[in-house]
Structure 1
Amino acid sequence: MLIDNRSREALLAEIDALRLRLEESEQILQGYERVYRILVETMNEGAAILTMDGVILYCNNRLATLLQVALDQLIGSSLGAYVTPPDYPLITSLLENHTQGCDNQELSLISGVGKSIPVLFSCCSIGFSGNQRISVIITNNTEYKQTEMELFASEKGFRLLAEGIPQIVWVTRADGWNCYFNQQWVEYTGLTLEESYGHGWNKPFHPDDQQRAWDAWQNAVINNDSYSLECRLRRADGIYRWWLIRGVPVLNNAGNIQNWFGTCTDIDNIKQAETLIQIAAEAERERAATALRESESLYRAIGESIDYGVWVCDSEGSNIYASSSFLNLVGLTQDQCSNFGWNNVLHPDDAESTLLAWQECIRTGSVCDMEHRFRGADGQWHPILTRGVPVRDKNGNIKYWAGINLDITQQKKTEALLRESDRRKDEFLAMLGHELRNPLSPISNVAQILSSFPLQESTLNWATETLNRNVTHITKLVDDLLDVSRITRGLVKIQRERVELVKLLKDLTESILPLIQTKHQTLSLELPSQPIYLLGDPIRLTQVFANLLNNAVKYTDAGGCIDLRVGVECSSIFVHVRDNGMGIEPQLLPHIFDLFIQGRIELDRSEGGLGLGLTLAKKLIELHGGQITAHSQGVNQGSQFLIQLPGLVDKTILAKPLIPQSPTKETDQSLRILLIDDNEDVVESTALWFEMSGHQIAIARNGTQGVSTAQTFKPDVILLDIGLPDIDGYQVVRKLRDLPTTRRVLIIALSGYMLNKTLLEEVTDFDYYLLKPPNFDQLRNLLAEYKRSNLRTGDLYT
Structure 2
Amino acid sequence: MENERQKAEASQDNDFYRLVFKSARDPILIIRPDGQVIDANNAIVEAVGYSKEELLKMNVADLRPPSERPKVADHLRQSSEGTIFQTEYMRKDGSVFPVEISTKGVLLNGKLAFLGIIRDITERKRAEEAIVADLRDTHLLHSLSVRMISEGDGKVLYQEIMDAAVAIMHSDYASMQIFVPERGDGGELYLLAYRGFTPEAAKFWEWVQADSASTCGMALRSCRRFLAPDVETCEFMAGSEDRATYLQTGIRAVQSTPLYTRTGKLVGMLSTHWSRPYQPSERELQFMDLLARQAADIIERKRAEEERERLLKELDAQRRKLEESVNIYRAIGEMIPFGIWICGLDGGVKYYSQSYMDMAGMTFEELKELGWTRQMPPEDVEPMLRDWKECITHGDFWTYEHRITGANGQKHVILSRGVPIKDEEGKTTCWAGINLDITELKEKEAALLDAITQADLYMDLMGHDINNINQTAMGFLELALMALESKRKLEPEDTHMVERPLKALQTSSRLIENVRKIKKLTSDGITIEPIDLRKVLADLDIQSLSSNGRDVTINIPEIPPSVVRANELFRDVLINLITNAVKHSSEEKPLLVNLNVDPAFIEDSLYYKCTVEDNGPGIPDDVKGKLFHRFQRGATRAHGKGLGLYLVRTLVEGYRGKVWVEDRVPGDHTQGARFVVMLPASDCQNSCLPGK
What TM-score, normalized by structure 1, do the two folds share? 0.31
What TM-score, normalized by structure 2, do the two folds share? 0.34
Larger Rg: 1
